Amino acid sequence: MYKAPVQDIAFTLNHVAGLAEAVESGRLGDLGSDLVDAILEEAGRFAGNEMAPLGEIGDRQGARLTDGEVKTPDGWAELYRHWREGGWNGLTAPEAFGGQNLPHMLNVAALEMWNSASMAFALAPTLTMGAIEALVAHGSDALKDKYLARMVSGEWTGTMNLTEPHAGSDLGVLKTRAERNGDGTYRIFGQKIFITWGEHDAADNIIHLVLARLPDAPAGTRGISLFLVPKLLVNDDGSLGERNDVYCHSIEHKLGIHGSPTCTMIYGDGKFGAEKGAIGWLIGEENKGLACMFTMMNNARLAVGMQGVAIAEAATQKAIAYANERTQGKAPGWSGSGMSPIIEHPDIARTLVTMKALTQGARAICYACAHAIDMSHHTEGTDARFWSERAALLTPIAKAFATDVGVDVASLGIQVHGGMGFIEETGAARYLRDARIAPIYEGTNGIQAIDLVVRKLPLSSGEQVRGFIGELRDIAERVATSNNAAFGETGDRLKAALAALETATTWLLEAQAEGRVAEALAGATPYQRLFGLVLNGCYLAKGALAPVEDGNADKRVALCRFMAENLLAETSALKDRVVSGAPSLEAARAVLA
């Protein structure tokens, strides 16, 4: 069973991602390290003891739809109540609405633990937090007063309604329409698909944020508005009123995250008898809905990245436990009696250490992204712009690299289990099934790669990415000049990987400057992976260099060295694909005809 790796999490937050420094500098207000530790400990306890046991039940039962009502798995409604009563839903929300105004870094660390325990369950608050964020940033005071406190407390959950059958990655073509009522409210008509936790029995109300198009809206993405559409209308005194004209038509039968209801939502069908049209309230300005949605989408992308980290962590724990327990054959050098635990076999050890290294690296990347977000909120002027760009640059890598790691590590975890890994009761297969959605939703990893190459590399004319690579070079240099022989060839390997990243970055910036966009896009995914691997290596090195005497320093150096000497050579191949892969792809398109 999952046990939260509180020590690894705290170390990475503090000494790799930058929390300790931010706390010491006083930039995060009166947040002290004691409070950080207490929060992580308690989140870990809740995730391990209360949430994880229900994760498996949720997978087996799944969410069930009957007559438009969704029943969550046994025990989940009560689990959700316990969880929100613990105050976990409002960690980063404003104090004015009952939140704790804590840094994103802490919330992201907590999200990791919820997702390790049950990704399907953790999706509910993940969506609510996104909705809160959009409302805080763009909602009118009236909307905030009416909805925020109960969303922050978790009494009401939130959803994001973007996708339609023909509009997924390309939201410009969505058809859901909104009509003005003349009294400041709107009526919404249309169908939305893939709505996570769109209907369920764990909260009193559900607050849908819905993208729709006004009758006179311009075509494309500039004609999309964002609306708040509650499941139950809320009276002026805050009590719950009539059912709004929105319902769940069906839920999907999915590969994984079975406990999370993925709903097709119908707006404005007149199902409940009243006048047709789901009543909605505008968030932000008309036709500016996509910008409002992007506010929450960036953080949602990081939250999905955390799902990758979380599954990788849980899968690694499970595989290590099994490999210690299962005996089979005799490993070279095994001197014990009988068969050796399979962890002694070099091939299994290599697999497990690989899982460890990728998990720990993906964690550091995601936490560093959260740190950049926090810093952008706690600084001003050029500093704020710098950190905001850093967060923007890290977001697609955090989302894509960490979710790919989630899938890869979950699959390796199955392999370590041998035949037992294929049996559902073992639980290893569930991790792969759950993990597989994360590279897809909140923008497929291909979309993230396009975003990285087209929008993020050119930030500040390329100075943001170049400056970042410079910082990473400093880490490599510190390893190279350290006197610790246990680093082996780490310094040289990091430098070679950074050189590959720099070459690929320059090539992509030039290709775009010269209008060779298709060529640049052909290499976007290999580039994204290249960047992720380099960060993985550099962040492990940063942790290994940190002068923290907690008894794990040698292990950190050893893991970093394994990463550098076993996993970083791939960066050269990826660079090669970026700078020379496009012509052969163009020629090979013919084979798809």
Which 1-60 residues touch its own copies, going by CB under 8 A? none
Which 483-502 residues touch its own copies, going by CB under 8 A? 486, 488-489
Which 354-393 residues touch its own copies, going by CB under 8 A? 356-357
Is 250 a binding residue for its own copies by CB under 8 A? The answer is no
Is 302 a binding residue for its own copies by CB under 8 A? The answer is no
Is 329 a binding residue for its own copies by CB under 8 A? The answer is yes
Sign of the alpha-carbon dihedral angle for 162, 166, 172, 177:
negative
Is 455 a binding residue for its own copies by CB under 8 A? The answer is no
Residue 442 appears among annotated catalytic residues: yes
Measured from the CB atom, is 273 or 333 closer to its own copies? 333
- N-term to C-term CA, the chain: 48
Q: Please, are residues 117 and 47 in contact by the beta-carbon 8 Å criterion?
A: yes
**Given candidates 349, 384, 459, 469, which one binds its own copies under the rule CB under 8 A?**
349
Is 260 a binding residue for its own copies by CB under 8 A? The answer is no
Q: Please, are residues 366 and 306 in contact by the beta-carbon 8 Å criterion?
A: yes
List, in order, residues 6 or more apart from 24 with CB less than 8 Å away: none
Which residues are bridge partners to 209 per DSSP? 160, 228
Q: Please, are residues 311 and 2 in contact by the beta-carbon 8 Å criterion?
A: no
Gap between the Cα atoms of 502 and 199, Å rounded: 47
- Region from 238-246, 298-306, 381-389, 520-528 binding its own copies, contact rule CB under 8 A: 520-528
Q: Please, are residues 15 and 543 in contact by the beta-carbon 8 Å criterion?
A: yes
x/- binding map, residues 412-451, to its own copies, per CB under 8 A? --xx--xx-xxxxx---x--xx--xx-xxx--xxx--xx-
Q: Residue 557's closest CA among 533, 541, 569, 535? A: 541
CB of 341 to its own copies, least distance (A): 11
Measured from the CB atom, is 369 or 447 closer to its own copies? 447
Which 465-484 residues touch its own copies, going by CB under 8 A? none
Is 332 a binding residue for its own copies by CB under 8 A? The answer is yes
Q: Please, are residues 258 and 59 in contact by the beta-carbon 8 Å criterion?
A: yes
- A 10 A CB-CB count for 382 gives 8
Residue 115, CA distances (Å) to 36, 309, 430 in order = 19, 9, 13
Report how many residues bind its own copies under the rule CB under 8 A: 95
CB of 539 to its own copies, least distance (A): 15
**Given candidates 521, 530, 534, 544, which one binds its own copies under the rule CB under 8 A?**
521
How many residues are listed for the chain in this entry? Answer: 593
x/- binding map, residues 532-561, to its own copies, per CB under 8 A? ----------------------xx--xx-x
Torsion, CA 562, CA 11, CA 499, CA 439, rounded to 10? 90
CB of 9 to its own copies, least distance (A): 16
- A 10 A CB-CB count for 242 gives 12
Gap between the Cα atoms of 19 and 456, Å rounded: 24
CB of 473 to its own copies, least distance (A): 21
**Given candidates 178, 211, 370, 407, which one binds its own copies under the rule CB under 8 A?**
407
CB of 489 to its own copies, least distance (A): 8
Amino acid at 452: L
Q: Please, are residues 26 and 377 in contact by the beta-carbon 8 Å criterion?
A: no
- Region from 110-118, 138-146, 160-168, 457-465 binding its own copies, contact rule CB under 8 A: 160-168
Q: Residue 469's closest CA among 445, 492, 503, 446? A: 503
CB of 287 to its own copies, least distance (A): 20
Measured from the CB atom, is 242 or 424 closer to its own copies? 424
Is 564 a binding residue for its own copies by CB under 8 A? The answer is yes
Q: Residue 413's closest CA among 397, 399, 433, 398? A: 433
Is 163 a binding residue for its own copies by CB under 8 A? The answer is yes
Catalytic residue among 164, 199, 313, 442: 442
Is 511 a binding residue for its own copies by CB under 8 A? The answer is no
Amino acid at 381: G
x/- binding map, residues 181-200, to its own copies, per CB under 8 A? ------------xx------
Gap between the Cα atoms of 62 and 187, Å rounded: 33
- Region from 108-116, 126-134, 369-377, 522-530 binding its own copies, contact rule CB under 8 A: 522-530
Is 346 a binding residue for its own copies by CB under 8 A? The answer is yes
Q: Residue 391's closest CA among 43, 18, 127, 10? A: 18
Is 218 a binding residue for its own copies by CB under 8 A? The answer is no
List, by residue number, the catalytic residues. 442
